[in-house]
Structure 1
């Protein structure tokens, strides 16, 4: 089993990369590009679809048959809704930074076909509050299953300091619809203030996988299977960007039975 905690490199350019090969799975890819003003990131999607998420900063985003101009608004992932662009398989994309930019490149298998690139602005994303008490967190649906794509599901979550998230523990590692879907998942973590830390545990019922991790600003955690709750410590808010994909594009999860009573408390 590959290590589940991936640390970023310092500097600009591609500072973090997760591929299906490096993760030991079949679907999800994820990378972070740190761009200085004027710097460019570009690629061809090939046989994968891509969701470009401006975690922070402003940038011009274009491709062979689309040009969305300069998009982006927030300078921190804790400051508002994201600006994103969906790019289908078989297309090229280019991002040129207008400010300092943190760009997330989320990918999964795609078929291309008739799908077109599209801009996903703040008005196009839905937000919701999940949980209650110290399990409250704030969710922004960037690419939910109600919006067109081949494989990708993309969502970001802010968990206030002292709160839990992805909790009660749930999993989605069986292709057993309608009860549960099989989805790999990455978590890209950010902390506010950035010197903070949080915790995440990834574990299975039989504990053949049971890994508890301290996550710091910029870390990525991998969830190949099992339950995966998070905890934000007092004084430090936790942001994470989730990318999910699997054989069927639907999110059906299974709660750990021993903790399900918390939903009724």
Structure 2
């Protein structure tokens, strides 16, 4: 099993590169580009589909020869909602940075008759999930009910200081619909202020997988299976971008039975 904590490689260019091969799984890929004004990132999707998330900064984007103009407006992932661009399989795309730009490239197997599509802020409203010290703020970018992709699910979450998230612990590692879906998942973490840290545990019922990680600004964690709760520390807010994909584009999770009582509080 590959290590579940992926550290960024440098501060410029493609600093994170997760593929199904490097992760030891089947579906999810994740790249993170940190670009200077005027720099260009371009690729062909091949058999995969991608969601380009303009995390911070602005860039002009094209997909399959169609211009989508300048996307992006926030300068911090903790301020407002993102711009994104969906690009289907057997397509090409390019992004030219207009400012310093942090661009996430989320990928999964493609298929179907989908078209390139801009996803502006406000497409899906931010929602509050949880109660008390389990409150977090969720913005769906590509949820399961939007019908705009073959397998990609993309969402971002902000967890305030001292709170838990992806909690009570839940998992989605069995292809057993309607009870549970099989979805691989990556977490791209950011901290505010950036010198902070948070914690994430990935574990299974039988503890054949049980890894606890201190996550820092820019880290990616891999969730091949099992439960995967996070916890923030006093003074530091946590942001994460989730990418999920599996054999079916459905998010059905199973709560850890010993912790399910927390849902009634």
Q: TM-score, normalised by structure 2?
A: 0.98
Per-residue CA deviation, residues 70-127 of structure 1 (Å, 9 max, x unaligned), is 111100100100000000000000010011111000000001x531101000131221
Q: State the shift of 1:143 in Å.
A: 0.1
Runs of 4+ in 1 over 3 A off after TM superposition: none
- 1:62-101 mapped onto 2 (5 Å cutoff): 62-101=62-101
**Number of matched pairs:** 264
Q: Which moved more, 1:223-232 or 1:122-131?
A: 122-131
Per-residue CA deviation, residues 19-46 of structure 1 (Å, 9 max, x unaligned), is 0000000000001000001111110000
8 Å CA contact 1:126–1:142 kept in 2: the answer is no
Q: State the shift of 1:69 in Å.
A: 0.7
- 1:236-247 mapped onto 2 (5 Å cutoff): 236-247=236-247
Question: 1:188 maps to what in 2?
Answer: 188
Q: TM-score, normalised by structure 1?
A: 0.98
Question: 1:119 maps to what in 2?
Answer: 118
2:227 is equivalent to residue 227 of structure 1: yes
Q: CA RMSD in A?
A: 0.7
Q: State the shift of 1:59 in Å.
A: 0.4
Q: State the shift of 1:9 in Å.
A: 1.3
CA distance in 2, matches of 1:36, 1:210: 39
Q: Which moved more, 1:57-66 or 1:206-215?
A: 57-66
CA distance in 2, matches of 1:51, 1:124: 14
Q: Which runs of 5+ in 2 are unaligned?
A: none
Specify the SS of the correspondent of 1:244.
strand
Question: 1:132 maps to what in 2?
Answer: 131
- 1:159-178 mapped onto 2 (5 Å cutoff): 159-178=159-178
Q: Which moved more, 1:99-108 or 1:7-16?
A: 7-16
Specify the SS of the correspondent of 2:21.
helix
Specify the SS of the correspondent of 1:119.
strand
Question: 1:2 maps to what in 2?
Answer: 2
